[in-house]
Structure 1
Amino acid sequence: MTTTLRAIRAGLLVPLALLLAGTAPAAHASPRHGPGNWLGLAVTRGDARSGDTRGVLLLCDPPQGHDHAAEACRQLAAARGDIDRIPRETGAMCPMLYAPVTVSAYGRWDGRRVDYRHTFSNSCVMKAGTGAVFDLPG
């Protein structure tokens, strides 16, 4: 695991723990399924060693933490939390430009662990392949 990914995970887990400790009602947190569906998301543009990394914590009960949280949660729900199952945007006209974007997601969806990482040739190809999930500002 890269240092950047470790830092992102550590940076997102602390706010998640504080959020869950302070605001999650006991009735919503069952021992089997945890507090709901959530994903720590990161997008790195450029070389992973020197690229620009942004990250958010997407919560889906209710949707929050992401500019397009409701849409991302809807797409993830339809794909049962499997980012590879999000339907590809068929009409996208992406340039044949190499400007790598690496995305990663970790968390829980319907009680199952999510651990996803993929490098796309550019941000247009990423958006066409993952919908709103990694559509982070900046």
Structure 2
Amino acid sequence: MTYTITNAVRGGLLAAAILVAGAAPVQASHQHTFSGDWLYLTVTHGDGRSGDMRGTLLLCDPPQGHTRAAEACEQLAAVDGHFERIPPMAAICPMIYAPVTAHARGTWHGKPVRYTRTFSNSCEMATLTGPVFALDG
């Protein structure tokens, strides 16, 4: 009897695994259909493989989805969506290495956007990206 139940459980687990594996490609091919400028922003604290990651969707027509959406959209509009052109803010940051990786993907003025940069710490990231990656509020 135990042999039959064990085989039934294994068969059920195998069937569930096949269903999950079959559903994955459908999700991967999902296309975003947001209108206007939008970016999915993530910030990963620590090692990228095991760090704490936070993310949000920034919509700019009208600004929403981000705790500082209006400021972030204004900042990005001023540099035409080019993160590396954001003017640095004046700040004194500690010389502590606590890596933070900022990542953005989406569309800005109809063009695809991909941005990834690892900063020495959160202070450096805030200084160089302003409100864009301020996902904690």
Q: Report the TM-score, using the length of structure 2 for normalisation.
A: 0.75
- Please state how far the C-alpha of 1:122 moved relative to its aligned partner: 0.1
Name the % identity: 59
* Cα RMSD after superposing both structures: 1.8
- Please state how far the C-alpha of 1:112 moved relative to its aligned partner: 1.0
Distance 2:68 2:117 in 1: 20
User: Which residue does the alignment assign to 2:136?
Assistant: 137
Mark the runs of 5 or more structure 1 residues left unpaired by the alignment: 1-9, 21-34
Structure 1, residues 89-110: CA drift from partner, whole Å, max 9, x if none? 1x20000000000010000101
- 3-state SS of 2:84 partner: helix
Distance 1:88 1:82 in 2: 13
User: Which residue does the alignment assign to 1:49?
Assistant: 49
User: Which residue does the alignment assign to 1:114?
Assistant: 113
Distance 1:73 1:41 in 2: 12
User: Which residue does the alignment assign to 1:62?
Assistant: 62
Q: 2:94 is matched by which residue type in structure 1? A: P
User: Which residue does the alignment assign to 1:27?
Assistant: none
Instruction: Name segments (4+ residues, structure 1) moved above 4 Å.
Output: none
- Please state how far the C-alpha of 1:114 moved relative to its aligned partner: 0.6
Distance 1:78 1:130 in 2: 12
Q: 2:58 is matched by which residue type in structure 1? A: L
Q: 1:74 is matched by which residue type in structure 2? A: E
Distance 1:118 1:44 in 2: 11
User: Which residue does the alignment assign to 1:126?
Assistant: 125
Q: Report the TM-score, using the length of structure 1 for normalisation.
A: 0.75
Structure 1, residues 21-75: CA drift from partner, whole Å, max 9, x if none? xxxxxxxxxxxxxx20000000000000110000000000000000000000000
- 3-state SS of 1:126 partner: helix
1:15-34 correspondence runs (5 A): 17=33, 20=34
Distance 1:88 1:137 in 2: 19
Larger Rg: 2
